[in-house]
Amino acid sequence: MKNNYENFQFVELTEAQTRQQIDATACWQAWQAAAAAVAQVRGSMMWREQSGRKYLIRVSASGGQTSLGPQTPQNEQLYERFTARKTSLQARHKQLQQTLEQQVRVNRALRVGRVPNVVVNMLNALAAAGLQDHFLTVGTHALYAYESACGVRVQTEATATQDIDLLLDTRQLIQFSTTLQRLDTSLLGIFQKVDKTFALRDDQKYTAVNAHGFEVDVIRRMANSRSGSDPHPLRVSEFEDDFWAVQVPSGQALLDGGRFSQVVVATNGTMATMHVPLPQSFQRIKSALSDQPDRDPLNRRKDVLQASVVQQLLSVHGLDHVVRSAQ
């Protein structure tokens, strides 16, 4: 890899910013765990009298009801344990929510984050829908995860972009499609909850753009023509107005290279967990792309720059240690 295009520097977060990032990250992770625990006790239990006997009824979050049997000492204990656990989990989640809101305000005051607000909102929308594990954030925005893990900021055009690339893991396409069907929504619909102005481009159905010109591209690995479960062309849901994922030659390598997860902070202080390729894989793939003779010159320049940035983060700023510690 040639370094003709290297023109960047790293600025470390201040001591106050570093402490705040550590505290905010811990709070965010605790809040996520609490939210997941509360989700497990959604719905309720109640007693219903029928034909002179009481029965314990489990009510789901959607309103469905299931009888757990007549009133017995065992069912009374089950009811009491469920009620006590739900009350405790909800109280913990409420307290963490208040703490999280305070952390967001401090993040904003200290300018801890610089990820575009729309990106963090989109990642959280995917998480709320239970779809976050089906995507990797690849391309330029992955650099935000790598620099956040090191407590530095990359001062370079390498992070300048008005679009995000989301790599859909089609190896779990059935599970992905089932989740969208259960939610009765499209992937575009999920992003429109973040910004209602998102709309598909007429000339590029794998891209949605909002009123501010920010674009989201949904990409996928090259389809396996021998597999009936890996179709292409691929519309990501049954909704007519939804993304058609576009194939990229590097998709399989990005998926096979492993993933790295990092809490990132938006300019407004809110947080999200970003799933990205392992930085070693990212650096290797970007370097290989830059060596392709038919690569667009502008993209080649960015490939070289981003590969150099990640290599510096790995070798000089401790990213390699962070990744190994997380595995």
Domain boundaries, the chain: 11-112, 113-326
Across 13-64, where does the E strand assignment appear? 44-50, 53-59
Q: How many Cα atoms occupy the beta-carbon half-sphere of 69 within 13 Å? A: 9
Span of 5-9, 85-89, 195-199, 278-282 with lowest mean pLDDT: 5-9
- Are the CB atoms for 29 and 263 separated by under 8 Å? yes
Indicate if the pLDDT at residue 207 is higher than 60. yes
Which CATH number is associated with domain 113-326?
A: 3.30.460
The confidence score (pLDDT) of residue 4 equals: 43
Average pLDDT over every residue of 199-206 = 96
Report the alpha-carbon angle 315-275-317, nearest 5.
15
* Those residues with Cβ within 8 angstroms of residue 117's Cβ, 6 or more apart along the chain or in another chain: 266, 267, 268, 270
Separation CA 169–CA 172 (nearest Å): 6
In 10 A of CB 124, how many CB atoms?
17
Task: Specify the pLDDT at position 225.
Answer: 67
CA distance 195 to 121: 9
Helix H or strand E segment including 115:
none
**Mean pLDDT score of the chain, rounded to an integer?**
93
Residues 6+ apart with CB under 8 A from 255: 136, 167, 169, 171, 221
pLDDT digits (tens, 9 = 90+) for 133-176: 999 999 899 999 999 999 999 987 777 788 999 999 999 999 99
- pLDDT tens by residue, 217-228: 999 999 986 666
Task: Output the pTM of the full model.
Answer: 0.90
